Amino acid sequence: MLRFLNHSFKKAVVLLTLLTGYGHAQCTTRRCLAEMLIKKEYLSQPQTENCTQNIFVKFLEYQTLSVDTKSLLLISRLRATLEWTDPDLAWNTSVYQFNEVILPVSKIWSPELHVTNGITTEMSHSSPDLLANSKGTVIHSVIINAQVICEVNLFNYPFASDKCPVAIQGWSRMGCGTNLVFGELKTVIASSGEWETGNATLERKRSDRNFILVPLSIKSTQPFITLVLPSILIVLADAVSFALPLGGGERNGFKVTLVLSFTMSLIILNDELPGDGECSPIIRFHFCCCLVILVVSMLWSMVMTRLSAEGRFGLFRRSKGPVSGNAGGGNAKEDEEVKAEVGVDVLGGVKEDGQILKKVVNFLEAIDGKTRESDRNQRFASKLDHIFFWFYLNSGIATLPTSNSVMVALTFSVLHRMF
């Protein structure tokens, strides 16, 4: 019996020796070590006594891809280099003489980052692999694409500028989860359409609330040229149109064309104008002032044309009623005398020269009276038109520069959404 046990013990020692030697021979490469770590299948978060895992964001790069001015959406891209410690992935360098090894990200646990105030957030791995060292430290990079509702203050559009928060957090519930510790932040300064991004800064609201404060400003040159400048030029053309004469209809036709053209341009530009947000852009007030000025100028020109032609402001002509018998008796007798005289002239060829000259003079005096009345009406209408022109010019000079100055200088603060 003792002999049998001694023989079994020797066989067990030989077997263990073979297995140990085989194991050392198998893990003489990095790939062998990686496969050994993969077989552990540690897919859950490393859990310490306080149930919180610190994630060091060693490097964070922010870039604004675009800004949807109409919907007030900030579309951004973040690239983060993460570092955390997983003690179960550590190994003894005296046994496995490698300091680093590459592991597939899908085979071990890795943290997830979220933009908590974004309507859509998509995180992807910048590489299918990550780097782990012998102390259990893991280094990995991720990319986050997010759309954030950013209530930018557009009151000063197209000279608007504001700051938009982008809140970035890890997962945590009831004291368990991940805690982000940020390092360096880099901002990719680039133009995104009509918007420019300034240097972003890392801010903290609470110990578990971190966000990137992104300064945004509009490149005012393009919207000023395409929106503000045409409206100013149209009002200027309307002011110059006062040099056209009141009669003939050229001025009225020109002013009607300006009003219709400006109205159609506003309808077309409605899709390009920014959304209201909390503060409606003052450029809408600018366009409203321009349209009111053009319409008032057009109506005034029509009224002055009527006054110049007929000497009254009435919108409707007064129709002449039927002539009564008493009132028209004298005229009837006078007509009969004229017919009798004409008959005598035709029949007898006899008519005194004085009566003919008198009628010619009366006719010429009537024409001269109408001419003088027409001239008087035109002078009166022209005088009123000149007075209105100076009032119109001063009002335009006061209104348009004032609205543009307000767009540049006056600011309002907007309380951004809590997250």
| Pick from 26, 46, 38, 45: nearest CA to 103 | 38
Chain-centre distance of CA 34, in angstroms? 52
Tokens of residue 88, six digits? 């179960």
Measured distance CA(47)–CA(57) in Å, rounded: 19
Long-range contacts at 413-418 (CB < 8 A, ≥ 24 apart): 413/153, 414/151, 414/152, 414/153, 414/162, 414/277, 414/278, 414/279, 415/278, 416/150, 416/151, 416/164, 416/165, 417/117, 417/149, 417/151
pLDDT confidence band for 209 (50 / 70 / 90): confident
Strands 209-218 and 201-206: antiparallel
Tokens of residue 63, six digits? 């870039």
Q: What is the pLDDT of residue 159?
A: 81
Mean pLDDT, range 373-389, rounded to an integer: 82
Mean pLDDT in the chain?
A: 78
Encode pLDDT of 236-272 as tens digits.
Answer: 999 888 888 887 778 889 999 999 999 988 887 777 6
Tokens of residue 128, six digits? 């299918």
Supply the pTM of this predicted model.
Answer: 0.67
Encode pLDDT of 23-62 as tens digits.
Answer: 444 578 888 888 888 888 888 888 877 788 889 999 999 9
Q: What is the pLDDT of residue 59?
A: 92
Which amino acid, one-letter code, is at 91? W
Residue, of 179 and 372, whose pLDDT is higher: 179
Residue 118 above 80 pLDDT?
Answer: yes
Q: What is the pLDDT of residue 412?
A: 59
Percentage of the residues of the chain whose pLDDT score is greater than 70: 77
Q: What is the pLDDT of residue 281?
A: 79
Q: Which helix (H) or strand (E) segment is 260 a member of?
A: helix 250-269
Q: What is the pLDDT of residue 130?
A: 92
Measured distance CA(76)–CA(188) in Å, rounded: 11
Q: If you compute the radius of gyration of the chain from its CA atoms, what whole number of angstroms results?
A: 45
Measured distance CA(319)–CA(322) in Å, rounded: 10
